[in-house]
Structure 1
Amino acid sequence: MWDWRFLFLILFSTVVDYTMGLYIDKSKSKQNRKFFLWISILINLGFLGYFKYSNFFLESFVDAFTFFGQDVRFRGLEIVLPVGISFYTFQTLSYTIDVYRKKLTPTRDFIAFSAFVSFFPQLVAGPIERATHLLPQFYSKRKFKYRQARDGLYLIIWGLFKKIVIADNCAQYANDIFENYDDYSSPTLILGAVYFAFQIYGDFSGYSDIAIGTSRLFGFDLMRNFAYPYFSRDIAEFWRRWHISLSTWFRDYLYIPLGGSRGGTWMKVRNTFIIFLVSGFWHGANWTFIVWGALNAIYFLPLMLRGKNRNHIDIIGENKVFPSIKEFYNITVTFMMTAFAWIFFRANSVTHDFLYIEELFTFKFKVDRLVIERFPFEILPLIGLLICMEWFSRNREHPLKNSNIAYIKAVFLVLMILIFGSFSEMQEFIYFQF
């Protein structure tokens, strides 16, 4: 309905990967198998590169010449980014790569494969599913399962709460603060970074919950995409809990083939920067995302080089009501590092990033604005409610999962959505742009 012409793009990608999967399977020699794999990779990444990054590379090329004193005129290409291309491109690539690795027998059911590529709940913003997990589910007959459907509805309600109550309310304040950063004092800028941290979490994880919940209504099981990331005790744990489908995709199809952390120090540093820079670049054609990726690589490196990147793989504070002082300190520091990095993700340009950070670290109240500057604290109790519900459900997939009072929680969340939902200022999902 958005633009029917882009249906041909996803159809072409589907036909290419379906065909290449069959050719890879039929080929006897490794050279032929690799040839057909590279056809799939180049076509998919070629489309992604053209639609998503053409103007970025052209603008960077012009900027480079301008920097050296050459006047180059540039008129941007009128290219519209097709909805969901970053997600379904990686989804189909995982299929051909897994067929090449002989982890998956290629399907001859074109309808099932097409449904796998274009499965509507997660098509636009994930989770990025693997063919080994989702594709076989299209072969079985659909049967309604009450418990699965009930859990799907609970997930949808939880996702709507995070999106409409948390993310969209935070967005109103975060957008104003980031767009008018030079008018605000340091405490408000800090609050703006915190609000955006919860905006992007509520927005993206909310979408994932709704997608997973909707799939369960149809009898499909999608992978979990978020696991309470803001309770992480270090940045490595954060990346095991945030956008899990993308993090594991880069791990399995890029990081490990590059050698992972098996080589020497130089190889470990190189691979870490590659994985985070590519992750940043995947998010968007802007230097802000690349800087964001580089900053996360810098965060991650000390843990990896000291062999501490796998220290926290258990549930935090298991069998305890509250975290220990050390755990609370680690959570706070990790969140502060993450929220600081989100500034680069949110700002419009790298210049905007550094001007915002400069204003933030002046640690000055703007006396002339104290009379009219209003610190938007009213969303904080709602954020506190989100944190409490997640903390006491951290050993479950979501707060309504396997709960004796799940129905009461669901009714309560619906009331919260109706009372505090930001219906007049509804925001588009952030990850729709990627």
Structure 2
Amino acid sequence: MFFNSLAFAIFLPSVFFLYWFVFNKNKSTQNALLIIASYYFYSCWDWRFLFLLVFSTFLDYYTGIQIEKGKSERNRKFWFWLSISVNLGFLGIFKYYNFFAASFSELLNSVGIQASPILLKVILPVGISFYTFHGLSYVIDIYLKRIKAEYNFIDYSLFVSYFPLLVAGPIERATHLLPQVKVKREFNFEKAKEGIYQIVWGLVKKIIIADTCATYANAIFDNYNSMNSFSLILGAIYFAFQIYGDFSGYSDIALGVSKLFGLDLLRNFNYPYFSRDIAEFWRRWHISLSSWFRDYLYIPLGGSKGGIWMKMRNTFIIFIVSGFWHGANWTYVFWGFLNAVYFLPLLLSNSNRNNLDAIQLKYNFDSLKVIISILCTFLLTCIAWVFFRARTITDAVLYLKRMITNWDFSFQYLANERYSYELLLMIGVFVLIEWNNRNKIEPLSGKRSLLKLTLAIGAIMIFGTFSDYKEFIYFQF
């Protein structure tokens, strides 16, 4: 079931009605309803993988209690590493086994040793990377005595399986969501209204921006050998807006839906393409994942406290692991590596925390420098996105090489679409709207909110009629 589907348009109001008008007597019944709704939501994709979700939930619930009750450090470590090993084991089998087996076989074949790997015929369970990280952070926090174990199985189950964030995040923390789950919620009209604005803006990003850009980006990337420089530049830009509109759109919808039920989720995107350097970009892009790796990998490795080589090592580890988290392909690993290369000069010059203030533009030279910095950061990001989108590293390199050497800047006709003048205009309007509202959670609230909401819904209905792209990109991660 997708957020942008008719099924979800029926599912959400039904759960909302039951939640506030039937199961509203206490928080336990509300939580139980949300768990049932979440399991149904997940089973609409493939009910056979529900056992993984339930097993992972029970494993971390039980091991969390055992870690807290452990009378010796040895006993606590046993339960801690049991949870970590099993969770990462499931993730490794379903997501990475075939990749490592095939890569190792290719390595042997390259040195003259014939090998035929045994590959598993399995599909990747949707959302496994997200709900696994929910459980891992919970167990780690208990082991480090940052939080107490949760003894209410219903409350903990909801924390792990809550349907707005179940399949594509944001990656929640027990310290943030569990306290909200444990108290009864009262309906708040203003919060619900904020939720509706955020849902609609998320749908604008997904249906109008991401799905339209996908049509052109796919056509260009799939036929890059016959595309000129201008088309390849546009292809990289289109994919940049496709993945931003797709993933941040999903996050906006998730946060908005959750507000309808009186729960606040972590903000996942903060207008990342207005970043002035790569460090700021990673503070604004997929915030819940970036902060997860910072808190549970980068800082435990020593963070920035050690010498220069430790700083460099930790930087490359966190970015490469982040790339590998996205998928079992060397393109993702190189994407992470490239972002580490981008980040390194900022780290070594101690300027990675320079741009923490809000962006303010005036008619002066400093503002011109800000605009140039934003454009340069976007350019570097688009180059990295080419590796993220390409099928292989070789394809990405050839794509960029042809972009630089072809030197033809005329519009090309795409076999499945018209010229893309309208799309460029639409992206320009979208950027202006976000820029003018960059200090807000979403652009629809505020003055003339009803008019903006009406126009947005009308545009969604028009573009949704012609859209062929339904699935969200991050479902595959």
TM-score (structure 2 length as normaliser)? 0.87
2:142 touches 2:148 (CA, 8 Å); kept in 1? yes
2:6 aligns with none
Superposition RMSD in Å: 2.0
> CA 1:32/1:140 → structure 2, altered by over 3 Å: closer, same or farther?
same
Equivalences for residues 240-319 of structure 1 within 5 A: 240-317=283-360
Give how far 1:36 is off: 1.5
2:153 aligns with 110
2:422 aligns with 378
Does 2:461 correspond to 1:388?
Answer: no
> CA 1:38/1:269 → structure 2, altered by over 3 Å: closer, same or farther?
same
Give how far 1:322 is off: 12
1:184 touches 1:366 (CA, 8 Å); kept in 2? no
* Match among 66, 85, 93 for residue 136 of structure 2: 93
Q: 1:372 & 1:207 partners in 2: Cα distance?
A: 28
Deviates more, 1:74-83 or 1:268-277: 74-83
> CA 1:166/1:322 → structure 2, altered by over 3 Å: closer, same or farther?
farther
* Match among 178, 185, 204 for residue 142 of structure 1: 185
SS at match of 1:378: helix
> CA 1:27/1:286 → structure 2, altered by over 3 Å: closer, same or farther?
same
Does 2:392 correspond to 1:349?
Answer: yes
Q: 2:413 & 2:285 partners in 1: Cα distance?
A: 40
2:68 aligns with 25
Q: 1:118 & 1:159 partners in 2: Cα distance?
A: 21
Equivalences for residues 17-416 of structure 1 within 5 A: 17-317=60-360, 324-365=367-408, 375-401=419-445, 403-416=446-459
Give how far 1:424 is off: 3.4
Deviation sequence 1:238-281 (CA, Å, 0-9, x none): 00000000000000000000000110011001000000000000
Q: 1:329 & 1:321 partners in 2: Cα distance?
A: 13
> CA 1:247/1:392 → structure 2, altered by over 3 Å: closer, same or farther?
same
Give how far 1:140 is off: 1.2
Q: 1:11 & 1:420 partners in 2: Cα distance?
A: 38
1:315 touches 1:394 (CA, 8 Å); kept in 2? no
Give how far 1:398 is off: 1.5
What is the letter of the counterpart of residue 387 of structure 1? V
1:317 touches 1:323 (CA, 8 Å); kept in 2? no
Deviation sequence 1:346-388 (CA, Å, 0-9, x none): 0111121112112111132299x96889752321121112111
SS at match of 2:245: helix
Between the two proteins, the alignment pairs up a number of residues equal to 432
Q: 1:141 & 1:78 partners in 2: Cα distance?
A: 44
1:164 touches 1:423 (CA, 8 Å); kept in 2? no
What is the letter of the counterpart of residue 398 of structure 1? E
Deviation sequence 1:89-146 (CA, Å, 0-9, x none): 0011111111112121111100111111110011000000001111121111132110
1:233 touches 1:330 (CA, 8 Å); kept in 2? yes
Q: 1:399 & 1:128 partners in 2: Cα distance?
A: 24
What is the letter of the counterpart of residue 344 of structure 1? F
Gaps of 5+ in 2: 1-43
Give how far 1:414 is off: 1.3
Q: 1:326 & 1:383 partners in 2: Cα distance?
A: 23
Q: 1:220 & 1:371 partners in 2: Cα distance?
A: 47
What is the letter of the counterpart of residue 245 of structure 1? S
Deviates more, 1:27-36 or 1:115-124: 27-36
2:231 touches 2:409 (CA, 8 Å); kept in 1? no
Give how far 1:318 is off: 6.7
SS at match of 1:361: helix
Give how far 1:430 is off: 0.4
Give how far 1:405 is off: 2.0
Deviates more, 1:344-353 or 1:48-57: 344-353
SS at match of 2:125: coil
SS at match of 2:422: coil
Deviates more, 1:416-425 or 1:154-163: 416-425
Q: 1:249 & 1:370 partners in 2: Cα distance?
A: 42
1:197 touches 1:339 (CA, 8 Å); kept in 2? yes
Give how far 1:192 is off: 0.2
Q: 1:372 & 1:415 partners in 2: Cα distance?
A: 27
Q: 1:229 & 1:322 partners in 2: Cα distance?
A: 23
Q: Percent identity between the aligned chains?
A: 59
Q: 1:392 & 1:322 partners in 2: Cα distance?
A: 21
> CA 1:407/1:18 → structure 2, altered by over 3 Å: closer, same or farther?
same
1:165 touches 1:422 (CA, 8 Å); kept in 2? no
Q: 1:153 & 1:372 partners in 2: Cα distance?
A: 36
Give how far 1:71 is off: 2.2
2:198 touches 2:255 (CA, 8 Å); kept in 1? yes
2:130 touches 2:166 (CA, 8 Å); kept in 1? yes
1:316 touches 1:323 (CA, 8 Å); kept in 2? no
> CA 1:258/1:361 → structure 2, altered by over 3 Å: closer, same or farther?
same
Give how far 1:296 is off: 0.2
